[in-house]
Amino acid sequence: MAKERLTVYLTPEVARALRVAAARRGVKDSDVVEEALREHIGFAALERSAARNLDLSEDEALELAVREQHAGRRVRKAS
């Protein structure tokens, strides 16, 4: 899949943590950013749902992804 170039501004400590995380995993910085964004905005949950539940409609899968996203946020707030 073709990728689009995007410029983002991060605080120095976040940028440093991003580079460290990417280096430890042996991947590009952009791969770590994309994975984090997919998780945060619900794409990852939608993709997992589609892989497990091929019989769900697109609307049902999206609803499930949103519920998962909200559940994840509740967990993060609690910790």
Running DSSP on this structure, what letter comes out for residue 42?
Answer: T
Residues 55 and 36 in one domain: no
Question: Do the domain assignments include residue 17?
Answer: yes
The parent domain of residue 25 ranges over: 11-40
Tell me the whole-structure pTM to 2 decimals. 0.56
Residues 6 or more apart whose Cβ sits within 8 Å of residue 5: none
- Better pLDDT: 47 or 3: 3
Residues 24 and 54 in one domain: no
Query: Per-residue pLDDT tens for 11-62?
Result: 999 999 999 999 999 999 999 999 888 877 777 666 666 677 667 777 887 8
Residues 6 or more apart whose Cβ sits within 8 Å of residue 37: 43
Question: Do the domain assignments include residue 2?
Answer: no
Running DSSP on this structure, what letter comes out for residue 65?
Answer: H
The length of the chain, given as a count of residues: 79
Residues 48 and 76 in one domain: yes
Structurally, the chain folds into a number of domains equal to 2
State residue 79's pLDDT score.
76
Give yes or no for residue 1 having a pLDDT over 80: no
State residue 58's pLDDT score.
78
Question: Do the domain assignments include residue 3?
Answer: no
Question: Do the domain assignments include residue 6?
Answer: no
